[in-house]
Chains A and B, each alone.
Chain A
Amino acid sequence: MAADASGPWRGLRNAAILLLIWEIVGRLDLVAGGALPGISEILIRLWVDWGDYPRHIGATLYASSMGFLIGNALGIGAGVLFALSPTALRLFRGVNIAVFALPPIAIAPILVLTLSGMAPRIALAALGVYFVTMTATVIGLSQADSRATDVIRAYGGTRWDILRRVQFRGALPSILAGLRVAAPNAVLGAILAEFGGGGRWGLGAYLLGSLGRGEPDRLWGIGLVATLIAGLSYGLFALLAARTVGSTRAVTLNTAVPDAAPRAGHPLGRIALTFGTIALPFLVWWAFIEATGVPDLISKTPWGVVEYLFLDPTAESAQTRLLAALVETLPITFLGMAAGLGFAFLLAISSRLFPRAIEAFMPVALVTQTMPLVALTPLLVLILGRGPSLTLWVTISVTFFPAFVTLAQGLALVPRSAEDLPRAYGASRWTEMRMVTIPASLPYLFAATRLTVPRALLGVMIAEWLATGKGLGNLLNQSRGFLDYGMIWTVAAVSVLLSVLFYQAVVIVERRVLRRLGMATAE
């Protein structure tokens, strides 16, 4: 505990050492023949290019703010609805999982096809926000102090009074914590859509224009600015939360799609509800297409995809291509997920055993999370080539960080007395880890697994698109060139469906295992 006071300084010192190593490695062109520039080179380039930035930053801020507002309005609205009505919560479970699980890379082309102007960027930003805020709202509202609720009820208060006077105020810290996590998501969503969407302004558009120049210092500069915006947006809401509710609630990366306990109702009613849960995402899809009014040739309804895959004359060829792509994509996705989780797990364990080393590593890890992958991949190709190792690394880099945060939280929550027990018998740190900390973090390992499902698919598809030329990522891109709209929608639908199925599979295994072990699901 005596070390606490010097903690921030030590962190700064370690970060400074790491930056210095980066600088030296970059200056001496040690990585990939100079594809990793020194920090000073990146900053100088940023200074030179600064004239270009304001409008790009402005556009990115505009799209991400709009997405943030819309996504949060929907998220909070839906959260309130779900907190009031367990039936609605169950009915929308399918939609919620789909939103959580959709890989943005597969959705971006669909949005660009069906929406125009700023709309695809705003939509992708909003999609990144909705889930986080919705879950935070539901959890915040449902955790309201039941005694305080009883007080309002005892004085004849209505459901609305309770919601207004107790639950909202009680939920505020949770919602604000949600907004904090959601804000960087909005920025990254907007940038991804900017990259592909064909507008002139926005950091993503700037990145695309700059890629062709073969100047890594520019690319890293753009990445750094993106990181800064994402970081500042996080900080802004952290500050807001501290000011308004005086709360520094720990950030939770929630990966559990909220669910209501099944109510003993009429069996027919329950069947109808289950059917509705499954049907609703498809209904939303269909309604989206109807609302955009884009012609059938471009936009495919769920039925359109079924026709394309099973009934059209070209169905057989489509199936063959899809299957071939899946055979290439799925194994490496699972492998990448396992590797990402494994890495996160090792890191989380190490952060308990060697906190200092990990503290220094964290700032670098954070940069890799906001550095747009489209900028990193060509550089990674130089280091790793184009084989499975590249795909694995890209996948690990997109999965490990959120998984690590989740696991580290889990490890931190292990009660002290449980860890004291083996120690009191003279156990080594490692025995303590093995006997208590690691098994205790199992619920968080499952939570982290749920989180990595869609991200792993995202990482693999980006690597396939930009480096290896295989699998779903490549199929999606070639289909764009061939105007094969059926395949574009199919790849998007299949990748979301896969994520959802795998998510559900993890949930089922998780429930079984944890129930047998007498443990609770990590929220």
Chain B
Amino acid sequence: MTPDGISLSGVGKTFSGRGKVVEALRDITLSCPKGSFTAIIGPSGCGKSTVMRVALGLEAPDTGVVRIAGKTPMGAAKAGETGVAFQDAALLPWRNVRRNVEVPLEVLGRPIAQARDHIQHMIELVGLKGFENALPGELSGGMRQRVAIARALVTHPQFLFMDEPFGALDQILRRQMNLELQRIWTETGSTALLVTHGIDEAVFLADRVVVMHANPGRIVDVIEVGFDRPRAPGLFSDPAFHRVCDHIAEVLHGG
């Protein structure tokens, strides 16, 4: 158990609807030490997003316990210790970039005026200087995703949750965002949990890759990734990198 990290123990969750009962998660036990970067990977429908939603407190588990730094997920959320980025950027189309980044602060009831400089810093961190007043409709897909990252970071979270944050981006942009994310994560020193279906992304970013299988959703393996940090773009073409990727692919495909 990691009292100051993210811990799930014995988490189970079933959904029922239209006469069918689906076991989304069975006995998920996972602990992410403080300051670590964990990636969850698995085929569609394996329940990896559900793990994330349960860890965030958006879904209540049927069995098991979830703790974030010893608190319940909602407790941690209300204390402003978490940050989150979803698969689609989930920006509010009627708010400009700055006002979108402010959303978590508003929800937590923190003063916006005092955070002005910090908000600006976050926007600059994700490379959107000059776009503060643009509406999401005027931004490209990659830019929107970067707003979502800035928004996830604006509360100085000790815990960063990301559900396929770059899923909608093309390969080139995605690599670029991976690098930026690594830089940002290193700067903030937070504990990160990333859900992805990109093997190379998981290996490049994470300390540990959690592999899940479906029906029921369960963890089949946890693979440690020991490359030195900071990891350079060259790593993507390193044979050692590919060996790890191939191993994960084997596990994924029922190895």
Contact = CB atoms under 8 A, between A and B. Distances in A.
Interface of A: 1-2, 4-5, 415, 417-418, 420-427, 431, 435-436, 439-440, 442, 517-519
Contacts of A4: 16-18
Contact of B93 (A425, A435, A519): A519
B77 A424 contact: yes
21 contacts: A1-B15, A2-B15, A2-B16, A4-B16, A415-B88, A417-B88, A417-B90, A418-B92, A424-B161, A425-B77, A425-B82, A425-B107, A426-B107, A427-B107, A435-B107, A439-B92, A517-B94, A518-B94, A518-B135, A518-B138, A519-B94
Interface size class of B (residues with CB under 8 A): 20 to 34
Given A1-B17, A4-B17, A518-B137, A425 B104 contact: yes
A417 B148 CA distance: 12
Contacts, number: 80
Given A5-B19, A518-B136, A518-B138, A422 B93 contact: no
B82 A421 contact: no
Given A1-B15, A517-B135, A518-B137, A426 B90 contact: no
B80 interface: yes
Contacts of B94: 439-440, 442, 517-519
A425 B108 contact: yes
B2 interface: no
Interface string B52-92: 01001110000000000000001001101010101110111
Given A425-B82, A439-B94, A518-B93, 5 more contacts: A2-B16, A4-B18, A417-B88, A426-B107, A435-B106
A242 to B, nearest CB: 16
Contacts of B17: 1-2, 4-5
Given A518-B135, A518-B138, A424 B84 contact: yes
Contacts of B161: 424
A109 B88 CA distance: 55
Most buried by A among B87, B93, B107, B138: B107
Where chain B touches its partner, the secondary structure class is mixed
A422 B78 CA distance: 10
B78 A436 contact: no
B107 A431 contact: yes
Given A425-B77, A426-B107, A427-B107, A420 B16 contact: no
Nearest to A418: B90
A435 B93 CA distance: 12
Interface string B122-145: 000000000000011110000000
B93 A420 contact: no
Given A518-B136, A518-B137, A5 B16 contact: yes
Interface string B173-186: 00000000000000
B249 interface: no
Most buried by B among A418, A424, A440, A442: A424
Nearest to B105: A425
Nearest to A514: B94
B21 to A, nearest CB: 9
Given A1-B15, A5-B17, A518-B138, A422 B107 contact: yes
Nearest to B88: A417
Contacts of B135: 517-518
A322 B86 CA distance: 59
Contacts of A426: 57, 74, 77-78, 107-108
A427 B155 CA distance: 14
Contacts of A417: 86-88, 90
A425 B101 CA distance: 13
A417 B86 CA distance: 7
Given A517-B135, A518-B135, A421 B108 contact: no
Interface in B13-72: 15-19, 53, 56-58
B223 interface: no
B25 to A, nearest CB: 14
B233 to A, nearest CB: 30
Contacts of A442: 94
B103 interface: yes
Contacts of A436: 92
Interface in B88-122: 88, 90-94, 103-104, 106-108
A442 B106 CA distance: 20
B180 to A, nearest CB: 21
Contacts of B86: 417, 420-421
A442 B84 CA distance: 26
A147 to B, nearest CB: 21
A427 B104 CA distance: 9
A21 to B, nearest CB: 31
Contact of A424 (B19, B56, B87, B137): B56
Contacts of B108: 425-426
Contacts of B80: 425
Nearest to A432: B107
A436 B82 CA distance: 20
